[in-house]
Amino acid sequence: MQRFKNIILLYECDRATLDRATTLAKENRARLTVVQVVKNPPEKWESVDLGGKVLDLQKLIKNELEKSLKKFVAPVNQEHLQISTKILMGIPSVEIIHDVIANKRDLLIMTAEGKGLLKERLFGSTSRHLLRQCPCPVWIMKPTRHNRFQRIMAAVDPDPENKVRDSLNATILQLASSLAAKDNSELHVIHAWALFGEQLLRSRGGVPESEICRYAQQQEEK
């Protein structure tokens, strides 16, 4: 799967996600950047005066988080894979998209759930917003202890008249099959479709259910 060259991993993630991102980066000879995003402190707390000593609170927070992030990646930071770390401050989805664009990232990896205070945010609005708006592919991984995937599903939408969509289908199948081969996993390819006007036929068409099912099966076999 020699496709990705500039990968960004969103922290907080679990160790399994870090290991998966590290392995993928090595196989692709790609750069890997681990990024943590935190909200800006309220304006009145950007600096604090402690007995005449003024502290830059924002800078202090970034320095401490940077140390923690470097410690997190240290076990997998190897000679042939230099992992970069970065602390961003602001709205998570906005800052991540800005970073992806500015640094031309080609893959974003994150877990479906973060830890602590980040858990609900990643599982909710942030992940959904990134799936819709991020200009590079987004891989949201389920937190797991397993080092490999047992079953992989590739969802495609074939359309011979739409070259862009068919090109995307080919990419999906290529990535899914190479990942399945690497992990010795089952690969399931699915396509979901709806019979045109099916709801209307069922509700107001007066057409027997058996006829609708028979017609749908005929269309599916074409």
Spatial contact of 157 and 194, defined as CB atoms under 8 Å apart: no
Q: Kindly state the percentage of the chain with pLDDT values over 90.
A: 31
Alpha-carbon distances, residue 142 vs 74, 110, 187 (angstroms): 23, 9, 18
Looking at residue 49, what is its pLDDT?
Answer: 60
Q: Is the pLDDT of residue 16 over 50?
A: yes
* Cβ neighbours for 101, distance < 8 A, ≥ 6 positions apart: 135
Q: For the domain bounded by 6-147, which CATH number is listed? A: 3.40.50.620
pLDDT of residue 71: 92
Residue 116 or residue 4, greater confidence: 4
What pLDDT sits at residue 165?
85
Mean pLDDT for the stretch of residues 84-108: 94
CA of 209: how far to CAs of 116, 150, 192, 201, in Å?
Answer: 50, 38, 20, 9
The per-residue pLDDT for 46 is 60
Residues 167-188: pLDDT tens digits? 889 989 998 998 888 889 999 9
Q: Of 22-26, 83-87, 194-198, which range is least confident?
A: 194-198
Outline where the chain has alpha helix (H): 15-28, 57-73, 92-103, 119-121, 127-133, 163-183, 198-203, 209-221
Identify the pLDDT of residue 142: 77
- Tell me the pLDDT of the chain averaged across its residues: 82
Q: In this model, does residue 19 exceed pLDDT 50?
A: yes
